[in-house]
Amino acid sequence: MWALLAAACSCSTTPAPPVAVRIRWAQDPENLDPMVLPNPQAIEAANLLHCSLLQLDYAQQLFQPALATGLPARQALGDSLTVFTYELRPEARWDDGKPVTARDVAFSLKLMACPPALGLPNEDTRLAYRFVHEVRQEAAFPRRVSLVCAGQAPTHLQATGTFPILPEHRLDVAGRLRRFSLAALQNWPATQPPDTGLTAFAQQYQAFRVRQRGNDLPGCGPYVLAGWTKDARMTFRRKPAWWADRLPAPVPAVLRAPCPLLTFEIIPDEATAGLALQRGELDLFPQVPARLFAQLRQSPAARRELAFHTAPSFEVVTVAFNTQRPALADAPTRRALSLLLDASGLLQATQLGEGQRTAGLIGPADPRAGCCDSLPPPAFDPPRAAALLGQAGWQRHPDGWRRRKIAAAPAPALQLRLRYRTGDAMQEIIALQFRAAASRIGVLVALRPTEAGALGAALRAGDFDLCVRTVKGNPFSCNFMPLLHSRAVGEGNVSRFGTAASDQLLERLAAAATPAQQARLLRRFQAMVREQDPLVPLFVVPTRLAANRRLAGLHAYGLKPGYALTALHRATATEPAAVPAP
Amino acid sequence: MGQVAHRGRRRAALAWLLLVAAAGLAAPCLPLPFAPAEPDLLAVGVSPAQGAGAGHWLGTDPLGRDVLAGLLFGARTLVLLTVPAALLTALLGALLGSLAGYGQRLAAPAPTWLLGAGLGWWGLALPRPALGLAAGAGAVAWGLGQRLWRRSPPVWALSLDALIQGAGALLGTVPRLVLVAAVATGGTLSLAGLGLLLALTNWPGPARLVRAETLRVRALPFVEAVRALGLPAARILGRHVLPLALRPLRADLPLRLAAFVGLESTLSFLGLGLPPDTASWGRLLDAARLDPAAWWTAAPPMLALLLTTGALLALSKK
């Protein structure tokens, strides 16, 4: 009898399903097309699905080869061009077994450069990779690709390797883009209608996106999308036979993905996410609000279950002006209004003083912070704000401020609408503080809390006067064009700022050849931002992670999302659990 | 004994409501150290014990706003919103209920009905608004044609009772909160706008009460008598029927107020309706969600809501 029972027990043992690592997301990624990526969550998801030539090794704070066998060979061409030559790994394969080749790299770059008339969602990437002028392929070496870049900026090395590579044989079966050079696509005249081949390609690409209901374009990254319930949950499953698993040991850190299942729980409410973490329904809560973080750290019960990690970050909290609004079109008015933001008080109130004040978009933790050391942080001075508004041509009336009347035209009023993400305590405190300071000098401010999903669309459409926005910093790049270039209006440039001089400065900064030239231009850039005030940098928020102690491979980093996603896994019996940072 | 206790409860309820009304109306004149929507950046989420020294007698919410100021100005919002809205609802309900109950019929020439329907279609921007304009133009042409041929157009009479009951039933098919929330989601509303919205979506309740009472009163002998005297219908309704038919509203008004208090708090809790810088008890409760440990943010508005609703319910009992 006992023998039978024992036999039955031994037969019924089936392999346990993989246990997911559960991570909190504040909002839904909305779109997984690597050309769109409307929010940080979408970028995180894209990094799981797709691979690029180089990927960031968070631990070393360096870009390391991913699809490429090594860092690119760099060659200067004259004094204005640089060629970066990459060799692709022979092991790199798509899911259907076909190799990743130079054709895929060229296709990905051309896709990002397609002219606007095609209606592809590539506005941001078109601008970001405009510095790549030519893609050279060699028939004899299908895994070798050379990228000819404008300028000799040291940051080009990283920038040329960090875009997702997409499969040409799946997305452009007929090879229609091959007929066009990268430069021809980049410089397609706005007045010239697109070629029929290009139009057919765009239709096919859009149809593919629609057919793939989750917008999950095929990628050569370690994970596939296993489930997506909008605004609730997103699950990624590790590919059972990912190409990087066949690499000889030791596998590079950027190509390790030990976790079999990653689940992102979309919980917009911070307090709810905190409770879920304490109840063990979440394994990782990134970007914990300062107050909740302090409470958890003080709680003995939470300390038993959770590990806490912090690191200085590059994320700058800003208030952006819509510079295309008539009332905010002039820099003196924006400068006056920026004096109504109490950055020191807000840092104390929202971060419990743990972040850092910043005078510009490059925060103190950034290695290039010395470029803005001459600028003092913006001051909080409502009386001076009122005086500056007067100098900017505004007159105070009992019902608010009005511009001095010009001829018979009605005098425009200074009535502002401030948008921020609803449910985000930090943003709400900033909005309330600005409104209170503004009302003290008679400026009317209406608050418009907006759901995270609708906020992005409202900002891109310019449906606001001011908005609270966190700008993701990147110490490896000096390309601020997606943030402030006039060609990025309606996309990343929510302040809709851009003059001929500022555009030129941003382009020169992105192409700066030497560190000295870059530093000089960065200094000018920071001064220009302060003078024009399209956005007001307030402070830098630190990275704060709270995680279940059973989670291994977790460390806090300054770069978004603040941790290396592909390093996370559940600690095994033989492996120590996550150790909190001292 | 029971009556004494009941009278005591009513007095206590009345006293609390008067206190809320007085505090709300006097809030701007009170020497409060902090405005309700102004965050104190140096005292975010402090308890009454920690904040008393800085003038935050009831502490601050997780956004740094003074809880006492929020409570007092929240009472003001409640008084200025719910009392006019409840009175307007009662007025609208009385008017429509009495018209429905008295069995009036609305008669007008057919082209006039058609013109009204067409213009209404166009004005409400219903699908294909041009269709409404075309119907209106057709109605005008019909009326002119009838006049040209010296014929009188047909007169269509519409039962007001059926119309009002139908409109009330239509409003009743959608839950009140869902209806108000759907309209309020379109954008922030002013106090007057939200009050009007509450009245326009809540009149069927009092209208049904007044209609039923009007039906009863119009059958009484003295009404028959004044009708036999040949008095006009409007006078009979206004002078003789309404004073009796409006009696149920006295009991309904406190209940309606209690419902509006709950509705306003719910809307504010959900972040709908009033602007986010307008103080409200519901908004204080909403702020308490940010920090569940901050009991001092949730307890005062919860207690105030409980007492106010309880007091209104006590007043509605005979």
What pLDDT, in 10s, does the model give residues A335-360? 999 999 999 999 999 999 888 898 88
What average pLDDT does the segment B171-175 reach?
A: 86
For A60-99, letters b (16+ CB in 10 Å) and e give eeebbbbbbeebbeeeeeeeeebbbbbbbbebbbbeeeeb
Chain A residues with CB-CB distance to B271 below 8 A: 422, 449
Q: Which of residues 96 through 155 in chain B touch A, CB cutoff 8 A? A: none
pLDDT-based confidence at residue B210 (cuts at 50, 70, 90): very high
Residue boundaries of the structural domains of chain A: 20-266+549-582, 313-540
Give mean pLDDT, residues A7-11: 47
Task: Chain B: give the shortest CA distance to residue A435, in Å.
Answer: 8
How many percent of chain A have pLDDT more than 90? Answer: 47
CB A205 within 8 A of CB A158: no
pLDDT at A12 > cutoff 80? no
pLDDT at B6: 82
Q: Tell me, what amino acid is at B260?
A: F
- Per-residue pLDDT, A5: 47
Interval B199-222 mean pLDDT = 91
Contact A321, A334 (CB under 8 A): yes
Classify residue A51 as exposed, middle or buried by CB count within 10 Å of its CB (0-12, 13-18, 19+). buried
* Mean pLDDT on B152-161: 82
Superfamily of domain A20-266+549-582: Periplasmic binding protein-like II (3.40.190.10)
CA A418 to chain centre: 23
In a 13 Å sphere around the CA of B155, the CA atoms on its Cβ side amount to 6
Which is nearest to B164 in space by CA: B111, B121, B109, B209? B209
Separation in Å, CA B316 to CA A567, B143, B166, B278 = 65, 52, 28, 29
Mutate to test the interface with A, among B42, B50, B277, B280 (most CBs of A within 10 A): B277
Residue A316: the pLDDT is 93
Compute the average pLDDT of residues B72-86.
95
Please give the pLDDT value at position A344.
94
With an 8 Å Cβ cutoff, are A291 and B188 in contact?
no
Tell me the torsion sign for CA atoms A391, A392, A395, A396.
negative
pLDDT of residue A407: 59
Nearest-by-Cβ selection for B291 from A271, A345, A349: A271
Which H or E element spans position A316? strand A306-321
CB contact under 8 A, A436 and B37: yes
Distance (Å, whole) CA A497 – CA A321:
9
Tens digits of per-residue pLDDT, B120-142? 888 877 778 888 889 999 999 98
Nearest Cα residue to A143 out of A184, A79, A87: A87
**Mean pLDDT score, B206-227:** 90
Range with lowest mean pLDDT among A52-61, B151-160, B297-306: B151-160
Residue B271 forms contact with A (CB below 8 Å): yes
- Residue A197, pLDDT above cutoff 50: yes
Question: Out of A214-218, A417-421, B258-262, which region has the weakest mean confidence (pLDDT)?
Answer: A214-218
Residue indicated by tokens 């059973």: A550
Residue type, A321: F
For residue A490, pLDDT over 60 is answered with yes
Most B CBs within 10 A among A351, A420, A428, hence the mutation to make, goes to A428
Q: A–B: how many Cβ contacts below 8 A? A: 60
| Residue B206, both tokens | 């009092």
Q: State both tokens at A48.
A: 């799981």
Element containing residue A400 per DSSP (H, E):
strand A400-403
**A429/chain B closest Cα distance in angstroms:** 6
Asked if the model's pLDDT at residue A81 lies above 80, the reply is yes
How many whole angstroms separate alpha carbon A442 and alpha carbon A396?
A: 8
Verify whether the Cβ–Cβ distance A432 to B63 is below 8 Å.
yes
Q: Say if residue A62's pLDDT is above 80.
A: yes
Tokens standing for residue B14: 């009345």
Q: Is residue B69 predicted with pLDDT exceeding 80?
A: yes
Which pLDDT belongs to residue A157? 81
Q: Give how many domains chain B has, as a whole number.
A: 1
> Is the pLDDT confidence value at A213 over 70?
no
Cα B185 to chain centroid distance, Å, stands at 18
**E-assigned strands of A11-138?**
21-25, 54-57, 62-65, 73-77, 81-87, 132-138
Can you tell me which residue has the tokens 């990025």? A488
d(CA B108, CA A386): 61
Distances (CA, A) of A149 to A74, A164, A326: 11, 18, 39
E strands, A94-151, are 132-138, 141-150
**Nearest beta carbon to residue A429 from set B35, B39, B188:** B39
Answer with the residue of higher pLDDT: A445 or A456: A445
**Interface residue B63 vs chain A (CB under 8 A):** yes
Residue A458 · residue A322 · CB < 8 Å: no
Examine the pLDDT at A371 and tell me if it is beyond 70.
no
Instruction: Read off the pLDDT of each residue in A415-435 and give the average, rounded to a whole number.
Output: 93
* Section A58-65 average pLDDT: 86
pLDDT at B188 over 60: yes
Just give the CATH number of A313-540.
Answer: 3.10.105.10
SS3 state at A538: strand
Nearest to A435 among B44, B188, B277 (CB): B277
What is the distance between the alpha carbons of residues A54 and A70, in angstroms, rounded to a whole number?
8
The pLDDT confidence band at residue A154, using thresholds 50, 70 and 90, is confident
Nearest to B291 among A291, A422, A449 (CB): A291
Whether A101 contacts A166, CB under 8 Å: no
Place of tokens 């309740």: B205
pLDDT at residue A10, rounded to an integer = 47
- Segment A162-187, tens digit of pLDDT: 899 999 988 888 889 999 999 999 88
B17 lies within 8 A of chain A by CB: no
Residues 6+ apart with CB under 8 A from A532: A331, A334, A497, A499, A502
Chain B residues touching residue A449 (CB < 8 angstroms): 271, 276
The pLDDT score that the predictor gives to residue A253 is: 87
For chain A, give the mean pLDDT.
87
Q: Is the predicted pLDDT of residue A11 greater than 80, yes or no?
A: no
Question: Has residue A376 got a pLDDT over 60?
Answer: yes
Dihedral class, residue A423 (left if φ above 0, else alpha if ψ from -120 to 50, else beta): left
Q: Which chain A residues contact residue B288 at CB under 8 A?
A: none
Q: What is the pLDDT at residue B105?
A: 75
B55 CA: distance to closest CA in chain A (Å) = 17
Q: Pick the residue from chain A with its C-alpha nearest to B283.
A: A423
Which chain A residues are within 8 Å of B275, Cβ to Cβ? 446-447
Structural domain of residue B259, as residue ranges? 2-316
A215 pLDDT more than 70: no
**Chain-chain contact of B188 with A446 (C-beta, under 8 angstroms):** yes
The average confidence (pLDDT) of chain B is 89
* Residue A15 pLDDT class (50, 70, 90 cuts): low
pLDDT at A119 over 50: yes
pLDDT in tens, A506-560: 988 887 877 788 888 888 898 899 889 999 999 999 999 999 998 988 888 888 8
User: Tell me, what's the ipTM?
Assistant: 0.79
Residue of A nearest to B288 (CA): A271
Q: What is the pLDDT of residue A4?
A: 45
Tokens 């119907």 map to which residue? Answer: B135
Q: Return the residue in A291, A420, A448 with the most chain B beta carbons within 10 A, the one to mutate for interface testing.
A: A291
Task: Give strand ranges (E) for A203-282.
Answer: 223-229, 233-238, 261-266
Measured between its terminal Cα atoms, the distance across chain B in Å is 16
DSSP state of B66: B
